[in-house]
Structure 1
Amino acid sequence: MRLRCALLDDFQNAGSTAADWSPVADRVDVVPFTEHIGDEDELAAALAHFDIVVTLRERVPFPASLLARLPRLRLIVATGMRNTVIDHAAARAHGVTVCGTESSSTPPVELTWALILGLARGLVQENTGLREGGPWQSTVGADLHGRVLGLLGLGKIGSRVASIGQAFGMDVVAWSRNLTDERAYEVGVRRAASKEELLARSDVVSVHLALSDRTRGLLGAPELALMKPDAFLVNTSRAAIVDQDALLAALHEGRIAGAGVDVFDVEPLPAGHPMRTAPRLLATPHLGYVTRANYARYYGQAVEDIRAYLDGEPVRLLG
């Protein structure tokens, strides 16, 4: 009997073409879901007749309550080698194997800089004005050379963002709870003595931390109040690191010059969400990982995971 594989959140309908599915084509039918399903009842009904699910990132939770309603499900392939929204113990209890793929080959470094540059030079406003017959020049751009780039987190992504900032001639400082002077020296940046110092000194603050109990709500109203009124905040990491209500208030009240955001508390963002209409906000729909190279890796290794599972030798097991 042929198996059925669901590709969740395949918004661009790209999953079936981003990789070569021929190794499993004789055993598996692939069905893309181009719309997000956020309701558990709807998800249980939609996946009732699927044996395999490929899920992107951590957008769709698989709690025990959902897994119990999917008796046909046998394999979940999650992109990345870490997924906190799948109940791994429940999956094992229900006989569901969970596999992963390698992480992004192109992390959101380039998108981070797209947001920084877009904010600094008012690209959205100027492009909109030019195309719609508005005034010729309506903004005065912010210079990056000689300004301070503050990085919250100096891991794989943060260090690459730092190197580009240095190429622009920026003075780069970084802070995290575990950052040492030695690590900062390796990357060629200065370690801020505290989060508060970094926020107060920086002209651009960019978040590159993993979400954990220690980083959830790391930037709230008191922290945002420390930022310069002409500074920008960029978050391509996780929405919950920045208090969303506090950020919206800062934007509406003009207490910071602007924010560039690629991650949200609810995804996809509902039509009436206040982030859609906030002033001084340059927002993108979680595009950090959405590149041809990443999709080729995710879906290519999903095919490998499925084939290995069907051959009785699963690889890249999670949980």
Structure 2
Amino acid sequence: MTTGTPSLRIAVLDDYQGVAARLGPWSSIPDAELTAFADHLDDVDALAERLAPFDVVCLMRERTRMPAGLLSRLPKLRLIVTAGMWNASLDVGHAVRQGIAVCGTTSLQSGTPELTWLLLLALARRLPAELASVAAGGWQTAVGDELEGRTLGILGLGTIGSKVARVANAFGMRVLAWSENLTAERAAEAGASLVGKDELLRSSDYVTVHMKLSPRTRGLVGAREFGLMKRSAFLVNTSRGPIVSEPALIDALQSGRIAGAGLDVFDVEPLPPDHPLRSLPHVIATPHIGYVTERNYAHFYAQFVEDILAWIAKAPVRVLDADRSSLQTV
């Protein structure tokens, strides 16, 4: 990095924990200045003003929306680097047409399935109520559930869903799986049985979502699907909020249509302070931390620097094209 006037100004957005400077090898970028922002901005005018001086913007996943209307107000911007190889909050097509290079990173795949099991186990053993009781000077308040012999339904059996399935097998659970293109052979390889979506919802004691957000999966679990689930069943979503209809989820929780939910993802993030999912009973909510581990962050930031250095050398790597975004031009 430079101590004089830099030739390259780099912004890192949404560095919530203030760790970007420490975890990334930024000093290997010659004649550059790094600015990491810990706060989150939604307002387009405020973002345009903040980002106007920067040549490079680094995005931590989909925390900040970068639509065409914002990109058009950033004539100095020449490179966007995003954590991951797909970003639904970035209009990649418009960026490319504007002459902005867009590059991504690979991602470690352990954190999200581990958090999935943390949420599922906490729901099963009524952990928030027991922790609160002990902290208040009390003792046992609820009767938890054993997982052995219970049924886990997995919507989406890709890399993360398969990791979840293998842990379920270790617990002695029956594992069902569904996605539109899943085959019985592929399900069996992960230790699951392929069933129809409705059968999975009717039969499962726990339902967990592991699908990519797309027009096809948006609202995949709605009022009809909650109506199929057991009243004793729990939903876990560590994928993307809009895959589950939020109004239908809130109604199902308030009416007792399902027993509870473990949620790491939401329609709007950060979750508004007065949002009902912050206070509903039988909800365990975490602030989209499935991938937030020191090891994964260090991996992201190392590849951010690799991307920037490769772009400087006019040999960009991990380049995203217009097909890597589902954001509509706005």
Please give the range of the TM-score, normalised by the shorter of the 2 chains.
Answer: over 0.9
Shift of 1:85: 2.5
Match of residue 287 from structure 2:
285
Q: Secondary structure at the match of 2:20?
A: coil
Match of residue 204 from structure 2:
202
Match of residue 148 from structure 1:
151
Which whole-Å CA distance do the structure 1 matches of 2:109 and 2:159 have between them?
11
Shift of 1:59: 2.2
Larger deviation, residues 79-88 vs 62-71: 79-88
1:37-186 superposed matches below 5 A: 37-133=41-137, 135-186=138-189
Which whole-Å CA distance do the structure 1 matches of 2:59 and 2:191 have between them?
38
Q: Deviations over 1:202-237 (max 9, x none)?
A: 001011111122211111111101111111100001
Q: Deviations over 1:145-172 (max 9, x none)?
A: 1000111111111111001001011011
Q: Secondary structure at the match of 1:282?
A: strand
Larger deviation, residues 44-53 vs 179-188: 179-188
Match of residue 18 from structure 1:
23
Q: Deviations over 1:13-43 (max 9, x none)?
A: 111111222211x411111111111111110
Shift of 1:104: 2.9
Shift of 1:107: 4.4
Q: Secondary structure at the match of 2:115?
A: helix
Which whole-Å CA distance do the structure 2 matches of 1:120 and 1:67 have between them?
45
Which whole-Å CA distance do the structure 1 matches of 2:273 and 2:111 have between them?
27
How many corresponding residue pairs? 316
Q: Secondary structure at the match of 2:149?
A: coil
TM-score (norm 1): 0.96
Q: Is the 8 A contact 2:153 2:200 kept in 1?
A: yes
Which whole-Å CA distance do the structure 2 matches of 1:205 and 1:256 have between them?
11
Q: Is the 8 A contact 2:52 2:74 kept in 1?
A: yes
Write the letter of the residue equivalent to 1:126: E
TM-score (norm 2): 0.93
Q: Is the 8 A contact 2:14 2:40 kept in 1?
A: yes
Q: Deviations over 1:47-83 (max 9, x none)?
A: 1111111001122222221111111111110011112
Which of 297, 308, 311 lines up with 1:309 in the alignment?
Answer: 311
The alignment yields a C-alpha RMSD, in angstroms, of 1.2
Q: Deviations over 1:79-119 (max 9, x none)?
A: 11112322223212322111111123424000000000010
Match of residue 32 from structure 2:
28
1:248-267 superposed matches below 5 A: 248-267=250-269
Which whole-Å CA distance do the structure 1 matches of 2:252 and 2:204 have between them?
16
Q: Is the 8 A contact 1:106 1:293 kept in 2?
A: no
Write the letter of the residue equivalent to 1:18: L
Larger deviation, residues 165-174 vs 85-94: 85-94
Write the letter of the residue equivalent to 1:41: D
1:229-240 superposed matches below 5 A: 229-240=231-242
* 4+ runs deviating over 3 angstroms: none
Which whole-Å CA distance do the structure 2 matches of 1:187 and 1:291 have between them?
25
Q: Is the 8 A contact 1:204 1:233 kept in 2?
A: yes
Query: Percent identical across equivalent pairs?
Result: 54
Which whole-Å CA distance do the structure 2 matches of 1:294 and 1:161 have between them?
18
Gaps of 5+ in 2: 322-330
Which whole-Å CA distance do the structure 1 matches of 2:15 and 2:304 have between them?
14
Write the letter of the residue equivalent to 2:23: A
Which whole-Å CA distance do the structure 2 matches of 1:212 and 1:313 have between them?
31
Match of residue 6 from structure 1:
11
Match of residue 220 from structure 1:
222
Q: Deviations over 1:104-146 (max 9, x none)?
A: 342400000000001011111111111122x311111011110
Q: Is the 8 A contact 1:80 1:104 kept in 2?
A: no
Which whole-Å CA distance do the structure 2 matches of 1:212 and 1:102 have between them?
20
Q: Is the 8 A contact 2:109 2:159 kept in 1?
A: no
Match of residue 328 from structure 2:
none
